[in-house]
Structure 1
């Protein structure tokens, strides 16, 4: 089910915006239907529909987990050389598990970036909004 975020769509048009302050009268009838759950859903719709931050976060977390697993693997190899009676099973399970999780998160972030690019192409939003054209007739401009 589509959940458009109107404020983000308006901001995405690219026109100059200004704030208008006004005094809101208190509600005369009933209660607001926006409880904590609905406000949270609205905030999530804003972040998911108009931000690439969740996708980039998955990639960065995956890359960080990969880096930590490589450092951990090197640490356990050095520890095994320095202290030969170090338990082998703990080190291998730790490194392999963290490496697998990191690799999956990193690859999911990359696949998410590809899907985002496909989505943006299919959405078909104009790359620019032409407000005024010089030296062209209106029927000559093709967007």
Structure 2
């Protein structure tokens, strides 16, 4: 079992509040987040961006391992994840979907085998399993 942690600190409340995110790895080091980084254009991050990064990274790594297990080596994978945040009926917000767009180069693989491995990674990477949202995968195989 692996456990990873992060710390969120927020000072002030509502739209005027400001926060910082820190992770033990140092990737996030007092990284700013706030209402304006989430819904505006202020420099910093937001939960949806971090979820998109996590989903893109997790899916891509899962597919990479599936390809290696199937005997492929070399090539490249690049995935963009777009996480959609919408208002829900209760007056709050909900992440409703994550769209994965993959560009792949896998020498020697058939379209059918690649699609089966990609769909398996889409459904079975840990972040996909965590999400309570629609997940869509679109890909191009060079």
Same fold (TM over 0.5): no
Using the size of structure 1 for normalisation, the TM-score is 0.28
User: Larger % of helix: which?
Assistant: 1
Q: Higher relative contact order at CA 8 Å, sep ≥6: structure 1 or structure 2?
A: 1
User: Larger % of strand: which?
Assistant: 2
Report which of the two structures shows the higher radius of gyration computed on alpha carbons: 1
